[in-house]
Structure 1
């Protein structure tokens, strides 16, 4: 068990929430953090295996059917869950 925190990116439609998430993931990736990114299986608008913003920015992710599946896929050395 490790302590952590949750950050929420909120806003109305087309406010740039996904763009901000992708930006943060990229910053942490450049900092060599071990990141794992998830999205729900129901979200297949742009891609089945990536988070994609309206502007076309994208990052690879793992798809989960239920939130409980996230816990099964997090590894001991994971530093960031998105």
Structure 2
């Protein structure tokens, strides 16, 4: 949340930059992962959130929780 607030301050009177995150749940247990995903979904109401992950748990959460009329889930192919 500190980074989100900092981005708001730095972009005063301008468009808010997207929040780009990479594997933010990789060291988290299930409860913390779910809390992080819920928080990011709340943040996404006011900020564009781009999340990269290889975590199947996060993918399952996204497939069940995202609203297709508002949110977008893009699965990228795994590197070879």
- Between structures 1 and 2, the one with greater helix share: 2
TM-score by structure 2 length? 0.36
Larger Rg: 2
TM-score by structure 1 length? 0.36
